[in-house]
Homo-oligomer: A and B are copies of this chain.
Amino acid sequence: MNAESAHIEALRALAASPAARGLADDAAVLDFGGDALVLTLDTVVEGVHFLPDDPPGDVAWKLVAVNVSDLAAKGADPVGCLYSHALGEDLWDTAFLAGLAEACAHFAIPLLGGDTVRMPKNAPRSFSLTALGRGPKGRPAPARGDAQPGDRLWVSGTIGDAGLGLAILTGARTAATGCAQVLARRYRRPEPSPALGRALAPLVNAMMDVSDGLLVDAARMARASDCAIGIAADAVPLSAEAREFTGDTLKSRLAAMTAGDDYCLLFSAPADRSERIREVAANLGRSLYAIGSVSAGQGVTLLHFGDPVPLPKRLGYEH
């Protein structure tokens, strides 16, 4: 166990309220005035979660989007947000605010308050945002720990684009201009869909967002649900840009499944709901992809066109 894991274990002991969901879910869910209040707080730090030369408007967008993604995963409608801003240079901050306004409007999540703090000289920028949402009525907000044997496993978007975008932006890889722009945008401007999360909530058993890598997040769902999850690597959706850039090999698929920053939904649902699930998505103009299944057992197993594939050593961003 590394120091971060040990720290999180100690936090879990402290967060004994059922609303905290053992700190093992995307958000806290509590009853407030008879409604389900869904709350999440995420922080982004320069040099860790975003690049020093990322456009400030994109940093703001991502700050809002990663929190909205947590709400979407709990089937919650955005209600509002509060954020804490570390003051830097005027021009940067002004562009950041423009991006914040754009993202708040796009995700229909009004800014309700927050804090503005001065930072010591040369400190990295950091921003925290709390998003609150209203969860499903009359049923619990979906948890990541309720997958059942027999469920089908789905994702709501292509996997690995953001990771390629990051590799391009850091200069680790180069791509043709068109591809590079699309993939970089997937890294900088994730597009979670609370409308999709809300529509899926009554149909799923378990739901979470993919933020740290498909394999590590699926492993978390398996652990929280005390089930085994099997994923067909060949069924994992790759974008046209990713295929053009890296080709379509098992290696490129494994890279995509461990890259992180996808901010789409990962959910499991009884197989006999598949048709309704596809309808719900089609009504919203969204695509869904069945990528595997849940069974009795533990852990994640991987197949590629039916052949077992050993799991890579690193499943994603671990913390």
- A residues whose Cβ falls under 8 Å from a Cβ of B: 3-4, 6-8, 10-11, 14-17, 19-21, 23, 27-28, 30, 32-35, 37, 39-49, 79-80, 82-87, 90, 93-94, 97, 100-101, 104, 110-120, 123-124, 126, 128, 130, 132, 134, 319
| Closest partner residue, chain B, to A21 (CB atom) | B113
Q: Is the CB of B30 within 8 A of A100?
A: no
- B contact residues around A124 at 8 Å (CB): 119-120, 123
Q: Which of B113, B130, B134 contacts A20 (CB 8 A)?
A: B113
- B contact residues around A100 at 8 Å (CB): 14
Q: Is the CB of A130 within 8 A of B82?
A: yes
A19 to B79, CA, bound (A): 11
Q: Is the CB of A15 within 8 A of B113?
A: yes
- B contact residues around A34 at 8 Å (CB): 33-34
Write the nearest CB–CB distance from A130 to chain B, whole angstroms. 4
A35 to B34, CA, bound (A): 9
Could you list 16 examples of A-B contacts with CB < 8 Å? A7-B87, A7-B93, A19-B112, A20-B110, A23-B114, A30-B79, A32-B32, A32-B35, A33-B35, A34-B34, A37-B37, A42-B84, A45-B117, A45-B118, A120-B124, A130-B130
| Closest partner residue, chain B, to A44 (CB atom) | B117
Write the nearest CB–CB distance from A251 to chain B, whole angstroms. 28
- B contact residues around A113 at 8 Å (CB): 15, 20-21, 23, 27-28, 39-41
